[in-house]
A and B are shown apart, each in its own frame.
Chain A
Amino acid sequence: MTPPAVTGTAAATQPIRLLDAEGRLVESEANAPWHELAAQLSTEDRLAMHGEMLRTRRFDIEAGHLQRQGKLGLWVPSIGQEGAQVGAVWAAREQDTLFPSYREHLIALHRGATMDQIIDIFRGARHAGWNPLETRGMRIYSLVIATHALHSTGYAMGIRLDGKSGTGDASTDEAVMAFYGDGAASQGDASEGLVFAASYEAPIVFFVQNNKWAISVPSTRQSRFPLHERARGFGLDAALVDGNDPLASFAVTRRMLDAARQGAPGYIEADTYRMGAHTTSDDPTRYRTSEEEESWRRRDPIARLAAHLREQGVAEAVLAEQDVEATELASDLRRRTLEAATAISDDIFDHVYSDPHPLVTEQKRQLAEFEASFGGEA
């Protein structure tokens, strides 16, 4: 007798979508509970979300230009992923702790990190742009892929041990979110995080932005099986959401986080697309077609929410005002970046070890010498 065939693919699941590409509400029986959750967002909230996305996009574009002009060592664009991020961060409650990778610009800004602080990381002026104690639970960017899947899980396990979750009161119970991408999902650390989160019923939600490309490797090759289905195999609740639909991202994250507070960790795969390069060191024209990019451009999250807001009766002038404000903020940022001192802060050495370390001291000396070699006071 021949054994049954083993297949590597699951039936395609449709992502949860509340707003279609034209910004119209998608009504269905299955969507009703999600719409109910999304109703927690007033029109003003939605307008504010739109503003955050717009500001992040303008910031992102300006930072890309600054890199090309030699003012930043590197830039990591998040263009196209603002919808997933804005929904997720609005769904998080104030007491929640967020562990980003390095593309979560909107989330960082929402929690009070400044554009300049983000820029400082990519200017090489600081290791980490901000103090997490001052950014309402927004931890620093993790540049090493997926390491924070472990840090965040451990942090969530700690919350549980401290008794700061699981009391049944969603307004005070703490939870954790970890943000990473489809490429990071292939890392061993990501899998270990899922194992521990499930075993210890940690109050955590993994929010995975599947932007389709791990630099040049398509997610369909790295993940032969849908990522959220994979998470179910680890014993987590999982959902697939349209990542370019801010309302769906909000509703699903809110529900998953509230379940996590009570000991049911969750996993959200946000179906989205990285419109730009992986980083400014990458050239996406080498591995993907312009048709593919075009098809995603038509699903842009900002245009989608704007269309929805117009439908809700928000005046064109209000949206235009947000646009002007975003443009001005980006231009201000440009000015400040050009004015910023080029000297590298000693802080980058001071916070590596708590006690003096001979190698670090030597590096510090070499850097000072290098700076001095330019002749100026630098």
Chain B
Amino acid sequence: MQEFRLPDPGEGLTEAEIVAWRVQPGDTVHVNDVLLEVETAKSLVELPSPFEGTVEALLVEEGQTVEVGSPIIRVTGGEADAVESSPKEETEQSLEQEEGGGAVLVGYGVRGGAETRRRKPTTVRDAPAAEPAPAPAADPAPAAATASAGRALAKPPTRKLAKDLGVDLQALTGTGGAGEVTREDVTRAAQGPPQGHGRTRGSQAPALTQRSAHAAKAEPWTGGREERIPVKGVRKAIAQGMAASAFTAPHASVFVDVDATRTMEFVKRLKASSDFEGVKVSPLLIVAKAVLWAIARSPHINSRFTDDELIVPRYVNLGIAAATPRGLMVPNIKDAQELSLRELARAIEALTATAREGRTAPADMQHGTFTITNIGVFGMDTGTPILNSGEAGILAFGSIRQKPWVVDGEVRPRWVTTVGGSFDHRAVDGDVISRFLADVASILEEPALLLD
């Protein structure tokens, strides 16, 4: 039996998120077959198998963040390989010990504070002390600060001061702007409750890390009073993008109800057509085509506003918002205006499949010019979307349901949807916005207009 421990996939990184497993228990693997994908602070990488044999167990779930050095997969059979058999790395308790953070097998991830950290004869990999702050009990968030393990942030003079005063930086809650330990924190700690000769040791500390937070998810009302989830990675990027957009571009939102019955019929006919065999056809495809058609008639909808210029691309990089395992992503189809209906269908299919697998490359998300968000897939009728940062328009496409609709003075069941959207009111005025949305609606009412 062989266990593969998470190596440092970058340069001195201490943890990585398991993004996707490419193998399942029972699979046969060969040396250098890709086992899984992990995402670090720096990159998304594939990890190749160091062994051959049969996968016995995946030891970590997708979505979990694990410390470097944690066992992640167990493989049986095959020729024993030396990767995991080094005498340094064994013991069952290592997982718990690594909760303290900072363990690295390779690279030079653990730095600084050599004295306290490294002298620890009995444990496998030593971990920097992650003890809760010895600060006064009134301190509201000791857990949050210690959760980030690794080396405590502090400026060199502060480190020097801490060393001189015998204060362990690792054990302090930083109050600086970036969470760094300040001079005052050190002075306070030096005057505060005794720390046992100023040095804290080892990893017997309660490990209030992400993983314990993760464990709490299964039982929503158990665990601590509050769950604290570090904002990082994709979530951080989403947050920054949303805030930048919402507080920069004045959003104007408009909506219109549409009888999309003919769109539904058109989709049905396309599906039956031999030309579209093997191609996924959905109402979203017609919406995308309608958007491209309407942009051609109102080019400023597809623009970006800077304080000096309104930049109007003569192309459309059409973004499709996608809910992915890693969070919201908006990959875009480059030069979508040049694509035939069939090519567009293929492009949407490829883009959504890639996004759903969480394999969207960052370059695929850059330089978008207009976005469609298909909130209908969540059963919503409509909403006021936030513009994808740097774009002037986003179209929200709601669910399509049969509803009563008045046709020639009679109430009839029709396939009805709502199209709406938000637009950068600095870039475009109400008349342009309304005309654009009316154009999209007219195509959904009568797709034959696309022939125009």
Contacts and interface: CB of A to CB of B under 8 A. Distances in A.
Contacts of A65: 32, 48
A334 B82 CA distance: 10
A86 B252 CA distance: 61
Interface stretch (A1-9, A246-254, A366-374): A366-374
Given A68-B7, A73-B108, A289-B363, A283 B44 contact: yes
B118 A366 contact: yes
B161 interface: no
B106 A281 contact: no
B11 interface: yes
Contact of A339 (B10, B82, B118, B124): B82
B9 interface: yes
Interface stretch (B83-91, B163-171, B238-246, B413-421): B83-91
A105 interface: no
A247 B48 CA distance: 35
Contacts of B11: 73-74, 279-281
Interface string A276-301: 01011111011111100000000000
A277 B9 CA distance: 13
Contact of B44 (A124, A285, A287, A288): A285
Interface string B50-82: 100000000000000000000000000000011
A286 B106 CA distance: 24
B7 A69 contact: yes
Contacts of B105: 70
A377 B124 CA distance: 13
Nearest to A62: B32
B32 A281 contact: no
Given A283-B45, A286-B362, A338-B82, A73 B8 contact: yes
B43 interface: yes
Contacts of A68: 7, 9, 45-48
B15 interface: no
A58 to B, nearest CB: 12
Contacts of B107: 73-74
Contacts of A376: 87-88
A28 B50 CA distance: 50
A358 interface: no
B42 interface: yes
A366 B111 CA distance: 13
Interface string A89-131: 0000000000000000000000000000000000010000000
A50 interface: no
A349 to B, nearest CB: 15
A372 B10 CA distance: 26
A373 B7 contact: no
Contacts of B155: none
A368 B120 CA distance: 13
Interface in B99-127: 105-108, 114, 118-122, 124-126
Nearest to A366: B114
A280 B9 contact: yes
Contact of A281 (B43, B47, B82): B43
A378 B88 CA distance: 7
Nearest to B81: A338
Given A283-B42, A285-B361, A370 B118 contact: yes
A282 B48 CA distance: 17
Given A65-B32, A68-B9, A369 B118 contact: yes
Given A338-B81, A366-B118, A373-B120, A285 B362 contact: yes
Contacts of A287: 362-363
Contacts of B6: 70
Interface string A238-279: 000000000000000000000000000000000000000101
B4 interface: yes
A358 to B, nearest CB: 16
Interface string B1-36: 000111111110000000000000000000110000
A374 B42 CA distance: 29
A366 B113 CA distance: 11
* A interface: dominant SS: loop
A56 to B, nearest CB: 18
B119 A369 contact: yes
B43 A286 contact: yes
A342 B88 contact: yes
B149 to A, nearest CB: 19
Given A71-B83, A72-B106, A339-B82, A375 B47 contact: no
B363 A374 contact: no
Contact of A70 (B44, B106, B126): B106
Given A280-B10, A370-B114, A376-B88, A70 B83 contact: yes
Given A73-B106, A285-B44, A374 B88 contact: yes
A279 B107 CA distance: 13
Interface string A133-166: 0000000000000000000000000000000000
A339 B81 CA distance: 9
Contacts of B31: 334
A289 B47 CA distance: 22
A182 to B, nearest CB: 20
A18 B49 CA distance: 41
Given A68-B48, A70-B83, A73-B108, A375 B121 contact: yes
A374 B124 contact: yes
Contacts of A288: 363
B122 A375 contact: yes
A70 B88 contact: no
Contacts of B42: 281-283
A70 B6 CA distance: 8
A373 B8 CA distance: 21
Most buried by A among B6, B50, B81: B50
Given A289-B363, A342-B88, A366-B114, A69 B4 contact: yes
Interface of B: 4-11, 31-32, 42-50, 81-83, 86-88, 105-108, 114, 118-122, 124-126, 361-363
Given A73-B107, A74-B107, A338-B83, 4 more contacts: A281-B10, A288-B363, A370-B118, A376-B88
Interface of A: 62, 65, 67-74, 124, 277, 279-283, 285-290, 334, 338-339, 342, 366, 369-370, 372-378
27 contacts: A69-B7, A69-B50, A70-B5, A70-B8, A70-B83, A70-B105, A71-B83, A73-B107, A73-B108, A124-B106, A124-B108, A277-B43, A280-B11, A281-B11, A281-B42, A283-B43, A285-B363, A286-B363, A287-B363, A289-B363, A334-B31, A342-B86, A369-B118, A370-B114, A373-B126, A374-B124, A374-B125
Q: Which 4 A-B pairs have the closest CB atoms?
A: A70-B7, A283-B43, A338-B82, A281-B11
